[in-house]
Structure 1
Amino acid sequence: MVALDLDTDKVVPLCVQVVKSKGYTEDTRLGNWKLAIGAAVIAVALLAQFYPKKFPQNREFLLGCIALYPYILLNLVLLILSYTKEKDAILFTHPPTGSFNSTGLVISSKLPRFLDMYTLTIASADPQSISANKPVHFTKSVTKWFTKEGVLVEGLFWKDVERLIDDYNSERKSK
């Protein structure tokens, strides 16, 4: 078996482009929350680092910043957000403009280590919504989208992602 040097870094941005070309806009709320929490973590760390007193006198303050409350708590919140909301998602969207649909999409991808089988999943951003649909996915070998030199054939990948979005939308119409 020959190891390929595939440029898989282009797959996710291309997938995002395809979804946006279908009229969906990116929902950045979760990312913004994570950035705000991360900034708060950094602020606590900077406050602990540059507190006006030197080490023996600021010991209680440092313990309060690091061990007791803000630093660990905020990092725990980031971890919980990653595991419960984000999971394998690469894109969250709003519904298309002018659509009767009240929920956007969650696009997730998986490429297990040491395997060539890539799974792309499209699901509703709000599974409890009345306009939510069952998730659709495909699993395909990444070798179908790359040349022997490891260059992504964007047109093939684009068509597969478009077909998956159309499958999701046609499933909704058949409800």
Structure 2
Amino acid sequence: MQEKGEMANNGNSKDRNPKKANLMDPHSIKHLLDESVTEIVASRGYVEDVRMSNIRLFMGTIIVIIALVAQFYPKKFPENRNFLIGCIILYIVLNGLLQLIIFTKEKNAIVFTYALPGSFNSTGLVVSSKLPRFSDMYTLSIASADPKSVSARKPVEFTKSVTQWFTKDGILVEGLFWKDVDGLINQYTGEYRKNK
């Protein structure tokens, strides 16, 4: 069997610096794995759908503008009481709506995609991940961006220990990770083939 270091060189990391994470920081590990998943999905020809991110950015900008207008309104407190109350109510409502969108639509999503160009499938992917606190078990799942669509496929996922993809120094063994993620995408798209 090959060493992890050799497998890293057999992945798709030609002439790049190795990706390294702080193994004592689960957020660092998850962030690195999530970024790598996004790269793998993009390499398969999927184009990222940034509409949800744009909606969040737009709402966040409106919330910041409301806060700035309330802060720098030219009248002093007793005179601007009703205006401030309106700003506070609007701020709370928009913030609540933003949190609702994040909680119901995004959940643990890493990336949303459009359907593959030229494919018969009319729906893209939602790729999600979880790495629970105090756990080394990373769960990656792929589902349809529109589960009610006729072309939606059954969601797939795997759960594996992150120790399988990192060396002792915290370097991601991209070849191994790429193989696992690519296999999951193949399983979702129906290109899954059994080993001979």
SS in 1 for 2:190: helix
Q: Which residue of 2 aligns with 1:15?
A: 37
- The structural deviation recorded for 1:5 is 2.8
SS in 2 for 1:121: strand
- The structural deviation recorded for 1:92 is 0.3
What's the TM-score once normalised by structure 1's chain length? 0.92
SS in 2 for 1:108: strand
Write the mapping of 1:8-157 to structure 2, written as runs, cut at 5 A.
8=29, 9-66=31-88, 68=89, 70-157=90-177
SS in 2 for 1:32: helix
SS in 1 for 2:175: helix
SS in 2 for 1:26: coil
Structure 2 regions of 5+ residues with no counterpart? 1-21
Give the Cα separation in 2 of the matches to 1:101 and 1:160. 23
Q: CA RMSD in A?
A: 1.6
- The structural deviation recorded for 1:61 is 1.1
- The structural deviation recorded for 1:151 is 1.3
Amino acid at match of 1:158: W
- The structural deviation recorded for 1:56 is 2.4
1 or 2 for the larger relative contact order (CA 8 Å, sep ≥6)? 2
Structure 1 regions of 5+ residues with no counterpart? none
Alignment deviations for residues 130-165 of structure 1 (CA, whole Å, 9 cap, x no partner): 100000000000000000111111111111110000
What's the TM-score once normalised by structure 2's chain length? 0.82
Alignment deviations for residues 56-105 of structure 1 (CA, whole Å, 9 cap, x no partner): 22122111110x3x101100110110111000101000011111110000
- The structural deviation recorded for 1:54 is 1.6
Runs of 4 or more consecutive aligned structure 1 residues displaced over 3 Å after TM superposition: none
Between Structure 1 and Structure 2, how many residues are aligned? 168
CA contact (8 A) 1:133 1:171 kept: no
Give the Cα separation in 1 of the matches to 2:71 and 2:114. 40
